[in-house]
């Protein structure tokens, strides 16, 4: 049995997303228990209205405060010690839950998780790692916004963590690793990326060199490493263009009577396209490098998206990821100590 | 009559793209003359095979060398003084042509153009400005890769240049300007962007604050300013995801007999979608901040895309852009001298 702690109050939709998602998860998986954390009366009220056959596998853990989407991390850590987010993370720290999920404020979640759980020994900074779809399989990308200023060493640690994540999730040994840059040629980019590239080259990682941002969706690199600013911009630009394309498709199919007819005929196919591209299916990003599994859900997601984030946390909880990263980093430190 | 000089040898497809595009342009527009620059025999041979009713408005200017796609800028400037790229730019410098177009190596084009034409007085660095489609109208984005390290002042100058470009191209006064960042809240981003934001706030530009990368395609900001790394990553990520989505659509419509039928019915609509999203239609980016109009075409484009780049150069040539930027910057320098 896997136990997942859920920040029931987090995200733009709070209980409207987290409660139905939790019900679906316990009704779809036999081996999971969920702990919903937050304002007890509200959660119980909402749970009572929710159709759920396996309600006995959902429990409630009271927490009296809520971290706002714009609360600065330091403020939420110091002033909201009984927030649903903090109590959720405490449950993992105390070993009550195997992993946790929150759709709350990213900065506060990362800050609180770092403060409560601590960072794996040998890792300087945790990062956010997302999984994005491509034609064949997935691309793992980190960092997605946690780290604005990075050093070559930190980028290299991202590479180690991401590689371990792919090995444990996909069972793929020696996944390929690329560094996101503005060109694939040697000599491109700033001093940080050039120095990082040297670290990767001299390592046991399966480093393939620089990649460009279109490789996230059209390439075949397993892991793409970048700082949080580039990762955020690549992800947001992709979201924007995907939304734009879907709007153009909708507008064209609604344009004339003939197009409406063809839309009717094409509906199953267009729905299949929409389904494959539905970003809710890829919801859930690992806060990687912490001493426990913390999954960040997109703040604006609905019950469908939040369900995927919980399922992702279930997968992460059983992956032994933290131990793998710890071991890999420990080996590295030993090797360096000998040299 | 507008005269455009064309680097006939540049880009991945060279003459295969530039010659048919040039023929289409002179046959579609009465008020344009084109000068094709490059290896004379090859150009004339290719021109003789090309159907073109207005061949008399195309002339040939010999140049004996070609800048390779991976030639470093300094090498191409020092060692290839008779390259098609260099001679093309010389024609603008000498007043023989009103503007020029090249699909060659971006770094070499920017380096050579800066060296030959010089930068507008008061502008520290030229930038690459592209025009991208959104649901209603266009978003102008700069810089797209020319400048890796920028200061707040340089970002601010990008804002001035971009605003003038929109005013002269779209006849829109006081276009809205946003700074690309990893969040819209005050306090997001690094020190450079925060300082740049202050410069924008205290200026006469119509500054609306930070924008995120999804705003490029889904927002309504007229101009988005960023450094070349972010601009490049946003653009490449968008290209990747657009290609990915089109591949998914194709795959789904080819998936089953029924889908093939529905594809048949939907073909006109799907073609309309494809046409609206065709990136070749948005080909052509201004190297802005130079003392003349230089348009960069996508290196991998075909004859259709290169035609759009030539037409964009025609529009640019008649816009008085260089004078507008010079005046705006001169006014700024005067005001600052008085203060």
Identify the band that residue A319 occupies on the pLDDT scale cut at 50, 70 and 90: confident
Q: What is the model's pLDDT at position B268? A: 79
Q: What is the model's pLDDT at position B246? A: 85
- CATH class label, A129-249: alpha beta
* pLDDT value at A253 more than 90: no
* pLDDT value at A279 more than 90: no
More confident residue, A225 or B72: A225
Are residues A268 and B247, on separate chains, in Cβ contact within 8 Å? Answer: no
Residue of A nearest to B271 (CA): A252
* pLDDT value at B90 more than 70: yes
In this predicted structure, which of A260-269, A307-316, B60-69, B179-188 has the lowest mean pLDDT? A260-269
Identify the band that residue B70 occupies on the pLDDT scale cut at 50, 70 and 90: confident
Q: Are A85 and A101 in contact (CB under 8 A)?
A: no
Determine how many CB atoms are found less than 10 A away from the CB of residue A30: 9
Q: What are the chain A neighbours of B134 within 8 Å (beta carbons)?
A: 244
More confident residue, A272 or B256: A272
Q: Mean of the pLDDT values across residues B232-245?
A: 89
Determine how many CB atoms are found less than 10 A away from the CB of residue A324: 16
Identify the band that residue A311 occupies on the pLDDT scale cut at 50, 70 and 90: very high
CATH 3.40.718.10 region(s) of chain B?
2-123+289-321, 127-279
Among A328, A326, A333, A306, CA closest to A34: A306
Spatial separation of the C-alpha atoms in residues A291 and B257, rounded to whole Å: 51
* pLDDT value at A258 more than 80: no
Are residues B242 and A241, on separate chains, in Cβ contact within 8 Å? Answer: yes
Per-residue model confidence as pLDDT tens digits over B114-138: 999 999 999 999 999 999 988 888 9
Are residues B213 and A233, on separate chains, in Cβ contact within 8 Å? Answer: yes
Q: What is the mean pLDDT of chain B?
A: 92
Per-residue model confidence as pLDDT tens digits over A26-52: 999 999 999 999 999 999 999 999 999
Identify the band that residue A313 occupies on the pLDDT scale cut at 50, 70 and 90: very high
Spatial separation of the C-alpha atoms in residues A124 and A132, rounded to whole Å: 25
In this predicted structure, which of A53-67, A138-152, A291-305, B92-106 has the lowest mean pLDDT? A138-152
Among B190, B134, B158, CA closest to B288: B158
* pLDDT value at A260 more than 90: no
Q: What is the mean pLDDT of chain A?
A: 92
Q: Mean of the pLDDT values across residues B71-96?
A: 96
Write the residue in B72, B239, B252 that is nearest to A214 by C-beta: B239
Q: What are the chain A neighbours of B237 within 8 Å (beta carbons)?
A: 213-214, 216-217, 233-235, 237-238, 241
Q: Which CATH architecture has domain B2-123+289-321?
A: 3-Layer(aba) Sandwich (3.40)
Spatial separation of the C-alpha atoms in residues A234 and A214, rounded to whole Å: 9
Per-residue model confidence as pLDDT tens digits over B290-304: 999 999 999 999 999
Are residues B148 and A182, on separate chains, in Cβ contact within 8 Å? Answer: yes
* pLDDT value at B269 more than 90: no
Beta pairing partners, B77: none
- Rounded alpha-carbon distances, angstroms, from residue B162 to A85, B166, B180, B234, B281: 43, 6, 14, 17, 20
Identify the band that residue B80 occupies on the pLDDT scale cut at 50, 70 and 90: very high
Q: What is the model's pLDDT at position A225? A: 97
Give percent of chain A above pLDDT 70: 98
Q: Mean of the pLDDT values across residues A243-263?
A: 78
Q: Among residues 272-301 of chain B, which lie with CB inside 8 Å of chain A?
A: 272-273, 276-277
Q: Are B253 and B112 in contact (CB under 8 A)?
A: no
Q: Among residues 96-155 of chain A, which lie with CB inside 8 Å of chain B?
A: 133-135, 145, 148-149
- Here the tokens at position B183 are 């969040």
Tracing tokens 């779209």 back to the chain, one arrives at B170
* pLDDT value at B267 more than 90: no
* pLDDT value at B339 more than 70: no
The nearest CA of chain A is from the CA of B302 a distance in Å of 19
Return the residue in B243, B244, B247, B253 with the most chain A beta carbons within 10 A, the one to mutate for interface testing: B244
**Ranges assigned E (strand) in chain B:** 2-7, 32-38, 58-62, 99-102, 127-133, 138-142, 176-180, 206-211, 223-225, 285-288, 293-296
Identify the band that residue A212 occupies on the pLDDT scale cut at 50, 70 and 90: very high
The nearest CA of chain A is from the CA of B212 a distance in Å of 7
- CATH class label, B127-279: alpha beta
Quickly list H helices, chain A: 15-28, 40-49, 73-79, 84-93, 106-117, 152-170, 191-201, 215-218, 228-253, 257-277, 303-317, 321-338
Are residues B237 and A247, on separate chains, in Cβ contact within 8 Å? Answer: no
The nearest CA of chain B is from the CA of A137 a distance in Å of 12
Q: What is the model's pLDDT at position B318? A: 85
The nearest CA of chain A is from the CA of B181 a distance in Å of 8
* pLDDT value at B264 more than 80: no
* pLDDT value at A314 more than 70: yes
Q: What is the model's pLDDT at position A126? A: 96
* pLDDT value at A338 more than 70: no
Assess A242–B contact: CB distance below 8 Å, yes or no: yes
Return the residue in A237, A281, A299 with the most chain B beta carbons within 10 A, the one to mutate for interface testing: A237
Q: Are A35 and A4 in contact (CB under 8 A)?
A: yes
Spatial separation of the C-alpha atoms in residues B178 and B111, rounded to whole Å: 28
CATH 3.40.718.10 region(s) of chain A?
2-123+289-319+333-338, 129-249
Per-residue model confidence as pLDDT tens digits over A165-210: 999 888 899 999 999 998 888 888 889 999 999 999 999 999 999 9
Identify the band that residue A281 occupies on the pLDDT scale cut at 50, 70 and 90: confident
- Here the tokens at position A79 are 């002033």
More confident residue, A216 or A276: A216
- Specify the fold of A2-123+289-319+333-338: Isopropylmalate Dehydrogenase (3.40.718)
Q: Among residues 144-173 of chain B, which lie with CB inside 8 Å of chain A?
A: 145, 148-149
Q: Are B127 and B228 in contact (CB under 8 A)?
A: yes
The pTM score is 0.88
Q: What is the model's pLDDT at position B272? A: 82
Q: What is the model's pLDDT at position A252? A: 82
Q: What is the model's pLDDT at position A326? A: 94
């Amino acid at each position: 049995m896997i136990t997942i702690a859920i920040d029931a109050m987090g995200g733009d939709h709070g209980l409207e997303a987290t409660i139905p998602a939790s019900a679906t998860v316990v009704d779809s998986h036999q081996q999971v228990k969920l702990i919903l954390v937050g304002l007890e009366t509200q959660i119980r009220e909402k749970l009572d209205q929710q159709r759920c056959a396996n309600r006995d596998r959902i429990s409630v853990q009271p927490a009296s405060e809520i971290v706002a989407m714009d609360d600065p991390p330091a403020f939420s850590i110091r002033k909201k010690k009984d927030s649903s987010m903090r109590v959720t993370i405490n449950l993992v720290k105390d070993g009550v839950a195997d992993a946790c999920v929150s759709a709350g404020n990213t900065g506060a979640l990362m800050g609180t998780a770092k403060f409560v759980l601590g960072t794996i020994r040998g890792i300087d900074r945790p990062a956010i790692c997302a999984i994005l779809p491509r034609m064949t399989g997935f691309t793992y990308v980190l960092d997605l916004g946690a780290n604005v200023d990075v050093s070559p060493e930190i980028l290299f640690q991202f590479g180690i963590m991401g590689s371990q994540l792919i090995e444990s999730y996909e069972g793929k040994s020696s996944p390929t690793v690329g560094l996101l840059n503005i060109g694939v040629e040697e000599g491109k980019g700033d001093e940080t990326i050039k120095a990082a590239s040297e670290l990767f080259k001299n390592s046991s990682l399966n480093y393939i060199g620089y990649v460009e941002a279109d490789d996230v969706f059209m390439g075949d690199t397993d892991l793409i490493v970048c700082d949080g600013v580039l990762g955020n911009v690549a992800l947001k630009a992709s979201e924007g263009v995907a939304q734009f394309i879907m709007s153009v498709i909708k507008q064209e199919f609604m344009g004339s009577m003939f197009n409406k007819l063809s839309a009717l005929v094409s509906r199953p196919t267009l729905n299949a396209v929409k389904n494959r591209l539905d970003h809710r299916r890829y919801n859930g990003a690992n806060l990687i490098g912490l001493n426990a599994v913390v999954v960040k859900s997109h703040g604006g997601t609905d019950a469908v998206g939040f369900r995927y984030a919980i399922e992702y946390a279930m997968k992460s909880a059983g992956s032994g990821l933290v131990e793998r990263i710890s071991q890999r980093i420990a080996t590295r430190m030993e090797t360096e100590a000998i040299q």
